[in-house]
Structure formats: C-alpha cells, structure tokens
Structure 1
C-alpha cells in the first residue's frame, strides 16, 4: 500500500510546469493543421491492405496514444513470424508544416501525473493516428521472421492499412496467459519473449532491476506513490520493440544513412570498480561471466543485489544519438542492448522515430531517402538529447514533489529502507513504504542491507526530503 496524499491545497503541478516552461497547449496553427489532416492523411498510392490481420495492442491501462499493434504466429517447421504495425505519423505530419515544426521543438511526449504534454495534438495522437481498436489506420507494417531460437531470418516493411481488433494492458494479458485464455494473436508471446530475453543476456544487454516509482491519482483526491511492479508481459512486449529497433539499425548501417540510439562501452576502470563493488557486497562474480550474465543471476529482492544494480548505472552513462549520411560512424553500438539499435516503434510519442522509419522504408524499397529526412539528420541528435534531458528532469521533479507532499505530515517518523549506495557519513536509500528515494546522513552505513531511517525535514516548495539513520 502507498501513502496517500490528502493535504488540502496540495497536488497542483502548475508551478512545476511553469518552472520548466512547459507549453500549456498547442499553437492555433498546429491545431488547425491537425484538424485538417486528421480526416485526410497522405497516401502515396502504395499502401497494402492489411486490415485482415488480427493485430492487438498491449499498453499501460488507460493509454490512448497507441503506437504499436502486434500479431505473433508460429511458423511451419519452427520459428515465429512477428507482424508489427507502427502508427504512420508521416501520413499526417507534413514536412515543414506547423505540426512538424512544433514536434521538433518538443521532441517527445512528456508524462506528468495531472496530464500529458503530447508530441502531437490529441486529434492525432489519441485519435486519427492512434491504432485504436476497430479503426482502420495508416501504419508501417514490419514483418520479421525468426528461427526456432528466436533469431531473425528475414525482415520486410511497407506502408499498410491496419485495424487492431483488441486493446489490452499488461495485467489483463498476464491474467489471460495464466488462465489459458489469451487472444490467439499473442499466445506465442511468452515463448518468443523468453527466447529474446535469453539472447539479450548472451549479447551482453544490461538490464537494471532497480525499484521503480509510480504516481497514480487517488480515488478521493490527491496522489498515491507506489512501487511499480515488474511484469513479464511488459518485458516480453518490449523485446518485440527491441527486435524491430535492431532490425532498423541494421538496415540503416547497411545503407550508410540513418540515426541510431547509441551508448559507449564502459571503460576498464568502470568495470574494475564494479567488480570491486560486487566483492564488497559479498556477491560472487564468476571469472568468465559478463555483467549481463551476473545481473541476470541475481535476486533483485536482495539488498546486496539492489546495491549492485544501483552501482551498475555507471555503465550506462553517455547515451545519445548518432546520425550519419555516407560514412558509417566509427561507433554505432548500444552497450546497454548489446547491438546497434534505432528508435522506430513510438512515432506518436518520439520525434526521431518518424525520420528513422522513412529511411528504412526508402532503402528497403530502393527509393531515395526523402530530402526533408536528409536535411534533418544533422539536427536530430541534439533535438532528441535535449528532449530526453528535459523528460528525465520533469519525471524526477514530479516524483520529488509527490514524495514531499506524501511525507510532509510524517516528520520524525521512522521508516524501513534499503541502502543503494553508501560512503562515509551518507547514503542513498530506498524506503520500502512509501517507495521513496532519498539521501540519508549518519555514521557507519553498510555497503548494502536494510536500515532504519528517520525523516528529519521536508521542504515542499523545494521538493526535498531529508533522512538520518535511526
């Protein structure tokens, strides 16, 4: 159970929106263009009719900006066929138009507890472009065939018309799979998802299993801060997106033009530091095991495991975007995924996906990459990095604000916590209920383990809470 905020007058994120200078709405010319194109999407005359495919969507509860719809089939002789429809925003966003210019300014959708700030107007993002059930929508349809071990053997993509037949969320899919009543389009999800996750460990993908915080609106007003549960269905679903993104990166690298999501490999000093941390935490690291293999074998519920995962964030610093046109970049990999990777599966919510998708469509159909795409390549890495930075700051500020609101009436109270990082006289701790990340002072913190901490101060205006070891 989370601690529920019921403080009169609290719960308003207007000051946070003002602090980050977040737009309150879309300019009139953007809204007018969205209304015009919503009923008249562009059509190049080469769009396949794929409305007979029984595609389904799997998203968080209540989501309306539905980027992806999936159909998984088992192939004769073994293997799988993934039909993955991605919302075709290029059918609605005219290059150089008002929507295009505003999307470049925003970069991505920002998610706040009291309402999202969309990359595109809701007329498109939650309406004409969204893959809502029962509605015929323009999409980019990826078909990826795999062998019996889940490794891709063939990739095809094209523009299509699709119609999702059902909208699901992670919990309902998990319950249906457990009961044996899952929709036929996703009964193969557990088998393919597990195979892809095994491949992820083998190729060195680093997945941090740190506690995730989630803000939800309380039924009687205010906010609930809770620990977000991990769900296998969400992880398996993410593997379909990763599979597609790796296929897109391969297409662009072969063509010598594209934009990738990149992350440099950690240097030897960082890896040596992590080995020393594992030793200090009492975690045995087999000599030949990779970081991915080590993390995959740990129980994330154990305090020492959580502490090592917290330290492993050092390996994932430096993520960015790399664009190229002609010469393939010297570094094109993503250390956290273990392969070159590109964003192509969330164009409703993320700017770069629309451009990367157009490149993949052009080169796989032996057509020139559109000039408006080529012209944007130099600017995309900076635009996306700026929006990623803003999104992370806004998310953290929202969590800090709700933490302060939730704890404001509990100064002096003692809480159970897990030590994530410790050094002389201070530590970063994670409270178990309510799920709060905080800084704590005091003598003699262990490198990991459970401790009792006392809340000493709350500054709601500055969104800060302070603890000391009890």
Structure 2
C-alpha cells in the first residue's frame, strides 16, 4: 500500500543561523585576537591633541552600539564648518596583529535579523573604540569648510581625542526636524544636506532611492518583511559621509596614493534604453536632463516609478575598489556620487576604511603612508570583493527564507502586487503585504501595472517562492 507523503510543517521561525552556516560566516574570534582586544580595551590609547570641547553627537539606527561617526555642524561666515569625527580603529588594530589578520578575514560587519557578526570583537567595536556618549575616544577628526553653496573650501584631518555628547537615533531626530527642535550640533543638517544634494545633482550623481526590503521583528516577536524608505534625516546624514569620502578621494589623488571606491559612468546604451522606456511608464524625461535628475524626481510610491527604478539599476554596474600608488587610476570616479570617492567613514564596520583613513592622515600631515599601509593597498580589492559577495549572498538568503516562511501554508491564495519587470510570460512582482518580491509567470505581465497573483510555491527548505498571474 502506498503511504501518502505530507509536506513537512513550516518551522516556527526562519532559521537565520542555518543561513550563516551555509555561507560560512565567521563565528567566534580567535583566542589571540580576543586577548589583544581585551588588553586594548582596558587601556585604549588616546592622541595628544584634544578636541573634546567640540560638542559632537552620533546619529544612527536605533539600538546601534558600533558608532563610527560623530558630527558637529556650525556656521562659518556665509558658509559652514563640518566637524566629522571617525573612530580611530588603527589606534587599536595594529598592522600584523591577530586583530588585523581576523579583520582581513572578515572584511566587514555582517548583519542578520537576529544577530550582528562584527568585524572586530565587541569589546572594541561596541565598547572601547566606539564613539559612545560621554566617553573619551581616539578619532580621526575631519574639519571640512564649505562655502555658502555647499562647495568645499578647505579640508583638514588629524588624530584627536573626542567626546560625543549624545547618541541620537534617526526616528527621534526626524521628529525634531519636523518640530523645529534640532539640537545645536545638528541644527544646520537640513540646510547643509539640501545644499550637498543640489551639488550632487549638478555633478550628475545617480541615486536610485528605492525602498529597501528588510526583515524586521514583528509586534508578536516573530519576523516580517517591510519595504523601508530612508527618512530625510538619513539622506542628509549620508551626504555628510559622502562629502567626507569625496574629500578623502581628493587627498589621495593629490598625493598619488590611496584606494578609491569606483563606479564607471552609466553606459550610453543603458541610458538610451531607460529613456525609451520612460514614456511607457509615465516618467517625464525633460530634454537635456541626465538620468540622476530624472530619478530624483520620481515618487517611489507610484507603481510605474517603482518599475522604472528597478530598470534603472543597470546604470550602476561595475563598482570596484581601486588602489593606486604612483600612477593615478584611468577611471577614478564614482558614477553614483558624481565624483571620485573613497570609503573612510565606517572603519568599525568595514576593513578598507581603516587603510583609507591612514592614507589620508599621512598625506594631510605631509608624509608618505607607512610601508605596511602601502603593502596592504593592492590586497584590499580582493578582500573586500570576497566580503561583499558573502554579505550579498547572506542578505539575499535571509530575505528569501523569510519570504518562504511568511507564505508557507498559504499556497493557492491570491495577493495584490505590482509588476516591476517582465519578459514574455515571466516577470517579477512585489506584493503589497507582506513585502515579498518573487518570480511570477503568466501572459500579460507588464512593468508598472497592478495585478493579482496566486501563490504557487512557498518552500522554506529551498527558499523558493513563485506566483502565477490571475486572469483579470
């Protein structure tokens, strides 16, 4: 007699630990690295220069402990002064140390919904090296003067001890913006952020601005998926980081040594294809406007605009880390930024930033970077590329398993969705709720249209979800 086989019941929660294991995400730190971290945390070194009188604050997602940046914004004549303190990771992670070796193996902090896998031991990254409020910390302090239009008028970077006054979170700061009660260190953030965005548009910077598909803890303690759009304050704060990265790249190029984050300009054929697509999706493309300006004016809540943004991702291909020592890169620019750019503002969470910061500190002091830094530069692209690959794979797998888990057992149900891309009888749809993005089959799929789709597969084990277009 044939025994019927029933599908295994869905697990009570997505198994994020299994995802980390599958992609070999580093777990525990080596004993030697932990010993070094504990010793350094007990007596963290501090620079002689004292900048603790600058009333810096940090602005991060709620609950963050690995605080890389602290900021203070002030008027300076008709212009502005940006003071941006970056955690001085090189003060506690020496070249050739066990901490250095482990950081090179990891590449960057990796975030999964249930756990953060840090680049450095938490005793440093969330303790003695983090710019926590009220604590004296070693930092690389950038002083960037801007004119009244937001153009760079002067740059300095040097080591100093700093003391953050407060740890702020994006939602609370956004509320203060709307009430007009921003604290003094951030009072100019909306104005400076807007100026920097205007200058970026003039440079032809391309920013997609698409909502991020994120796994978040639901009110009942389980997990859900949301499409999350950055708050305005997050966008303005990011402009301060991009400004610093542009200043770092300029220092490196002037000094003939460094490591840039590069992205080639959008290919003409990709821009032309997007321009031809615009009318079909109701997107206005004025004569003479660049793609960045067109994208910046879109309403991401419009399904047609969402489909257009999805297609625009082809404009931002070919990102790389580009080291140089002597001869300058043939293509030093970053198409997304509209200028040369370098990663220097997140050294607690990203390996390359420590080395970029050390190059800038040396050049600003009028000296050549140390031999150990120079020797590491050509190794960084490989280390970061591998780390970026693993991070992308883990992030995609985390979303995939959550999508399948949320929908498991709901096969044959019908959902409302938007088509974001389509080719013949296959395409991709994004559900209204939950925020699932998945493949869909059916004749008549057209980008930018709202449809109803029937769930065919939701398999947690294979992390697979697929839909079929419902007849009108």
Q: Given the two structures, how large is their TM-score scaled by the length of structure 2?
A: 0.96
Whether the 8 Å contact between 1:56 and 1:164 is mirrored in structure 2 is yes
Residue 9 of structure 2 is aligned to residue 21 of structure 1: no
Aligned to 2:283, the other structure's residue is in SS state: coil
In structure 1, the partner of 2:50 is: 49
Superposition misfits of 4+ residues, deviation over 4 angstroms: none
Whether the 8 Å contact between 2:26 and 2:106 is mirrored in structure 1 is no
1:65-464 counterparts in 2 under 5 A? Answer: 65-76=66-77, 78-464=78-464
Whether the 8 Å contact between 2:74 and 2:81 is mirrored in structure 1 is yes
Q: Deviations over 1:114-170 (max 9, x none)?
A: 101100000100000000011110000000010111111000111010000011111
In structure 1, the partner of 2:63 is: 62
Aligned to 2:278, the other structure's residue is in SS state: helix
Whether the 8 Å contact between 2:215 and 2:223 is mirrored in structure 1 is yes
Whether the 8 Å contact between 2:421 and 2:446 is mirrored in structure 1 is no
Aligned to 1:466, the other structure's residue is in SS state: strand
Question: Structure 1 residues 64 and 7, CA, compared in 2 at 3 Å: closer, same or farther?
Answer: farther
In structure 1, the partner of 2:5 is: none
Distance 1:211 1:466 in 2: 21
Structure 1 residue 459: Cα displacement: 0.9
Q: Given the two structures, how large is their TM-score scaled by the length of structure 1?
A: 0.96
What is the alpha-carbon root mean square deviation over aligned residues? 1.4
Structure 1 residue 40: Cα displacement: 2.9
Aligned to 2:416, the other structure's residue is in SS state: strand
In structure 1, the partner of 2:6 is: none
Distance 1:418 1:209 in 2: 18
Question: Structure 1 residues 283 and 219, CA, compared in 2 at 3 Å: closer, same or farther?
Answer: closer
Q: Deviations over 1:27-61 (max 9, x none)?
A: 11111110011123345xx6310111110000000
Distance 1:446 1:219 in 2: 35
Q: Deviations over 1:87-121 (max 9, x none)?
A: 00001001100000000011100000110110000
In structure 1, the partner of 2:3 is: none
Question: Structure 1 residues 464 and 192, CA, compared in 2 at 3 Å: closer, same or farther?
Answer: same
Structure 1 residue 401: Cα displacement: 0.9
Distance 1:298 1:114 in 2: 34
Deviates more, 1:210-219 or 1:235-244: 210-219
Structure 1 residue 335: Cα displacement: 0.8
Q: Which blocks of at least 5 consecutive residues in structure 2 are unaligned?
A: 1-8
Structure 1 residue 412: Cα displacement: 1.5
Structure 1 residue 409: Cα displacement: 2.5
Q: Deviations over 1:298-352 (max 9, x none)?
A: 2221112111111111111110100000000111110111000000000000000
Distance 1:209 1:421 in 2: 17
Distance 1:317 1:194 in 2: 26
Distance 2:144 2:316 in 1: 28
Whether the 8 Å contact between 2:128 and 2:137 is mirrored in structure 1 is yes
Q: Deviations over 1:185-211 (max 9, x none)?
A: 101000001111111111111111223
Aligned to 2:52, the other structure's residue is in SS state: coil
Structure 1 residue 368: Cα displacement: 2.2
Aligned to 1:178, the other structure's residue is in SS state: helix
2:14 aligned to which of 11, 14, 35: 11
Whether the 8 Å contact between 1:209 and 1:306 is mirrored in structure 2 is no
Whether the 8 Å contact between 2:208 and 2:296 is mirrored in structure 1 is no
Whether the 8 Å contact between 2:401 and 2:460 is mirrored in structure 1 is yes
Distance 2:20 2:231 in 1: 31
Distance 2:186 2:409 in 1: 46
Whether the 8 Å contact between 2:45 and 2:138 is mirrored in structure 1 is no
Aligned to 2:451, the other structure's residue is in SS state: strand
Deviates more, 1:329-338 or 1:7-16: 7-16
How many pairs align?
Answer: 462
Q: Deviations over 1:222-266 (max 9, x none)?
A: 212222132000000000000000000000000000000001112
Deviates more, 1:252-261 or 1:293-302: 293-302
Q: Which blocks of at least 5 consecutive residues in structure 1 are unaligned?
A: 1-5
Distance 1:155 1:266 in 2: 30
Whether the 8 Å contact between 2:245 and 2:341 is mirrored in structure 1 is yes
Deviates more, 1:322-331 or 1:427-436: 427-436
